[in-house]
Amino acid sequence: MKVLGICLILLVTFNSNKLLAQPSIVQSQTARQIIGQMQTHLTCPWNNETVDTFKTGNPDDTVTGIAVCMFADMKTLRKAVASKCNLIIVHEPTFYNHLDKTDVLKIDPVYDKKIAYINEHKLIIFRFHDHWHRTVPDGIYMGMVNKLGWKANQIDSSMTYFKFNDQTVEEFAQKLQEKLKGSQLRIIGDPQMHFTNVALAVGAPGSSSHINLLTNDFTELLVAGEASEWETYEYVLDASMMGMKKAVIFTGHIASEEAGMEYCATWMKTFIPEIPITYFENGSSYWSVQKPIVK
């Protein structure tokens, strides 16, 4: 009996250890459920009047992997497919206009090929723009300030105004170029202008927003994403020609916001640990001639 009892104890112990050793079953989630989780982790209420909607695919499909990026261009879509990501979280439009309207593109060869690829691989694209800016702190600004290393230079919680040691615009631009490798900076104003006060305006908020920042007594240098050349460019050029202490550095739209989507991927991993989440860098959309072309 004693031997039988010992055998039973060993058998129970073995089976218990076997059960504990079994991997836990990860519950699958649909794209709609993933977006629902994102909504609950924002600090702002969800507004249905928004561009933050599904652009392609079936939201009720099971998610195999999540790709996070600025633009869902073809290179990024191919990378997502290769990484087995079928949900794409993108900050900017997929179909070349703010509302992603496709009615005017129905017979367009570029659109036709892109949507065919998306449909073939059953890709679900969700735009995450408005609410990522509305949440507190603004997710895009948070990522950019972290990347630039400007947190210690903030003068308040707005992540708009910063104070630096006295330096010239040219010196500052060289440092900024190092941090934004691949970006081709455009600078308006006197390169030898000394300043300490900087305002940040990521993306393309428009010339009215830029000018409001520039007319603020605090702002000497504006670091911005992009603008039409006949607007903010000319405003700062005239101000500089009048002897005013104003300058602007344009980084390009992608360079001014992309770190915010990298931060988005990091943020999502804190509450979606069971699904692979990969950040894909887009980099600059254009290139320019660096050296004279020899004919």
Annotated binding site: 91, 253, 257
List the beta bridge partners of residue 200: 223
Which residues does 233 contact at the CB level (< 8 Å), separation at least 6? 188, 227, 248
Residue 146 φ/ψ, nearest 5 degrees: -65, -45
Q: How far apart are CA 96 and CA 196, in angstroms?
A: 38
- Using alpha carbons only, give the angle 37, 39, 45 rounded to the nearest 5 degrees: 155
> What 8-state DSSP symbol labels residue 62?
B
Q: How far apart are CA 240 and CA 248, in angstroms?
A: 10
Annotated binding site for a divalent metal cation: 91, 253, 257
> Are residues 68 and 243 in contact, defined by beta-carbon separation less than 8 angstroms?
no
Please choose, from the candidates 142, 150, 192, 201, the residue with its C-alpha nearest in 3D space to the C-alpha of residue 167: 192
Q: How far apart are CA 266 and CA 68, in angstroms?
A: 10
Pairing relation of β-strands 221-224 and 194-201? parallel
DSSP output for 97-142: STT---GGGTT-HHHHHHHHHHHHTT-EEEE--HHHHHSSS-HHHH
